[in-house]
Amino acid sequence: MCGISVIVALDQKKNLKNNIDVTSPHEGIVNGFHRRSVSEKLEESLDLLAHRGPDSRGQWVSEDSRVALGHVRLAIVDLSPNGVQPFHGMDGSIHAVVNGELYDADRIRADLIREAGYVFKGHSDCEIVVALYKQHGISFLRHLRGEFALCLYDSRAKYFVAARDRYGIKPLFWTYLEGKLLVASEAKAFLPLGWKPKWDVKCLMDDGWRHDQRTPFEGVNKVRPGHYLTCNAFGSIEMRQYWDLNFPNKVVADPRTEEEIVEGVRSRLLDAVRLRLRADVPVGVYLSGGVDSSAVAGMMCHLFKERGNKIGIEKGLERMTCFTIAFDEASGMDESRIAERTAQHLGVTLIKKYMNEEEIAKRFEDAVWHSEHQNYDLNFVGKFALSEAPRELGFKVVLTGEGADEVFGGYPAFLPDFLREPDHAWPYSNLTDEERQKQLTKAELVAAEFYKGRALKLLSHGDSLADRQLNNISSPASLASYTFPLFAPWTSSYGESDPCVTIANNVDGRVRERMLKKWHPLHSALYIWTKGNLANVLLACLGDRSEMAHSVEGRLPLLDHELTEYVNKAPPSLKIRYNKENGFSEKWLLREAVKPFIIEEVYNRKKHGYAAPTGWPRDGPLHKLFQRLVTRENVERLGFVDWSSVEDLVHKAFVGHNTVALRCTNVVAQWVVLSQRFGIETATPVPDST
């Protein structure tokens, strides 16, 4: 797990795709810098990524001074100097920097040695990238299994590739600046390279940062999950897809038995956990009160006992070690007691990270700096703090349970879409059509009330533009933000903004066709959440960014693509199970698969999303923090926020105890922090083009 920063000088005589205009001539020096200074600039960029890789760093500049690859390393597999990047091919023509972990690398390495006679420098899992490209060309991406972001340059073909893993677990950003293509693990790495941050106001209004490739920063984009960006002969930049989610035809019955499908999930999940225990450093696990992390911990413990894997045996830690966050029990958000009971059942060590209001307040600004985008909940600060615990005990790697809700159907918003159509793929369901219609009406009312209380607005659906494109599923509306009243009046010059339309527009036309004609509405909803909220929020500020801020690598077995491809084929009625006596059981297929590895309390427990408390006292640390951040001067410096809509928010949040006001205050405060830390220009009205 590491950080990368890359500079590529483009051919100014050719136009770039994606509506990027190139006007200045190429000066024949590396990316606008003299060769002597490019190394210094790249080093400054790597300094801002040092938290991602404190163990070593390296860089390479091509002979023609057009490509510069930089890397900071968190040493996990092959701790020797042989694992230091950039990696170079045997003949010196292929060069790569990789962030992440690639699993089953030993088997792939053996195949490449046998079939191609490839000679590896060391034993790093990431070194297989160069060898696979040499053997398979751009098709090498299909052979990678794990969490990764990478940049590769073929100097003979003058071909540059930047790619991101299938689910977007690892971040990868790019921008175009004065004839340079810049690519990095975090946007802050662009600052020493001449980037002057500006707000992308339209993106903020659209919720584009949350649902598509945009970021809060104008001109800075993400490489989409399951995609790769190419630059051929320093000419046009193109983005192409190499993998996507798929689901079966909703009218075709699944011929398998329930037991067969459950066992298939169990065996694949065990394999995913096993592969993620490969490390030359101690491996821990994050544990909450939910079925997801409990399943990972239970399976990890099972493998530990069965195979004798040496997990966590360092500095006297002779047992598997779990880490959990503990909020004030009176808040109703604390799950540490349940995690404690799971740890006792497994016979493993549990380390608690206690979080009170003061602890959240003092970490808030640093957590925002590392996230690089807003979050509606303070839970990201809790995850930021939790990631301190493994490093304090010498752990560089933790397994986590993220992704299960989007794969197995865990969120309340999914129930209406599960009920929207009959499930012809599973004719054994005891849910009659009459009961389905009745439960659908009830579920939509419950979901609307739930999301309204979380400062999200469940908009009316059924005849909107977004609804017509996405087969009338309601899940997109459950993701629509409630921040639009905060924007200054002049922002109307950007035109109308509807986050639901943003979500619909983010879906490929071929996929929209499948949603309309082929996929069950539940599967369409899973796709929407996976491509947007999971990749851009949960895997970012609640995943990589919080963990890597403390040099901790998170590994996500529940997003192993060989597992998820199998789960995606299962009928909706096995993901959300209906029982006349107990109602609906979310993630039923996962619960059944992991039942041997979790305690009964967790097996029977309803979904409780990870969230920070929403009730905080007047004149407490958070109240004082937000009073300091959300001032007229700071808000007006943003430029795009209407002060008259904001001035009473802090009072309403901490004196009136209004949850919606607290979430909106939280968002504005984060914008202020980003503005200050990044030095973002004040947004100004768009000049009249008439």
Q: Which residues are catalytic?
A: 2
Question: Taking Cα atoms as reference points, which of 5, 7, 6 lies closest to residue 180?
Answer: 7
Contact yes or no for 185/4 (Cβ under 8 A): yes
Query: Distance between CA 145 and CA 141 in Å, rounded?
Result: 9
Query: Distance between CA 48 and CA 690 in Å, rounded?
Result: 42
Residue 595 φ/ψ, nearest 5 degrees: -50, -40
**Quick one: tokens of 674?**
């980003």
Query: Distance between CA 75 and CA 72 in Å, rounded?
Result: 10
Question: Taking Cα atoms as reference points, which of 138, 132, 72 lies closest to residue 105?
Answer: 132
Query: Distance between CA 221 and CA 420 in Å, rounded?
Result: 35
Task: Collect all residues with Cβ–Cβ distance below 8 Å to 259 and sequence separation of at least 6.
Answer: none
Query: Distance between CA 380 and CA 529 in Å, rounded?
Result: 18
Question: For residue 152, what are the β-bridge partners?
Answer: 96, 161
What single-letter DSSP state applies at residue 532? I
**Quick one: tokens of 601?**
């309390």
CA distances from 610 to 342, 402, 519 (A): 17, 11, 29
User: Which residue in this structure is represented by tokens 């969490």?
Assistant: 147
> Hey, CA dihedral for 499, 500, 503, 508, is it positive or negative?
negative
Contact yes or no for 552/390 (Cβ under 8 A): yes
What single-letter DSSP state applies at residue 377? S
What HEC string does 539-574 produce?
Answer: CHHHHHHHHHCCCCEEECHHHCHHHHHHHHCCCHHH
Task: Collect all residues with Cβ–Cβ distance below 8 Å to 492 and sequence separation of at least 6.
Answer: none
Question: Taking Cα atoms as reference points, which of 64, 120, 59 lies closest to residue 95?
Answer: 59
**Bridge pairing between strands 94-102 and 67-73:** unpaired
What HEC string does 305-340 produce?
Answer: HHHCCCCCCCCCCCCCEEEEEECCHHHCCCCHHHHH
- The C-alpha R_g of the chain, in whole angstroms, comes to 25
- Nearest 5 degrees, angle CA 426-CA 429-CA 431? 130
- Nearest 5 degrees, angle CA 624-CA 627-CA 631? 160
**Bridge pairing between strands 583-586 and 159-164:** unpaired
**Bridge pairing between strands 283-286 and 146-154:** unpaired
**Bridge pairing between strands 283-286 and 321-326:** parallel
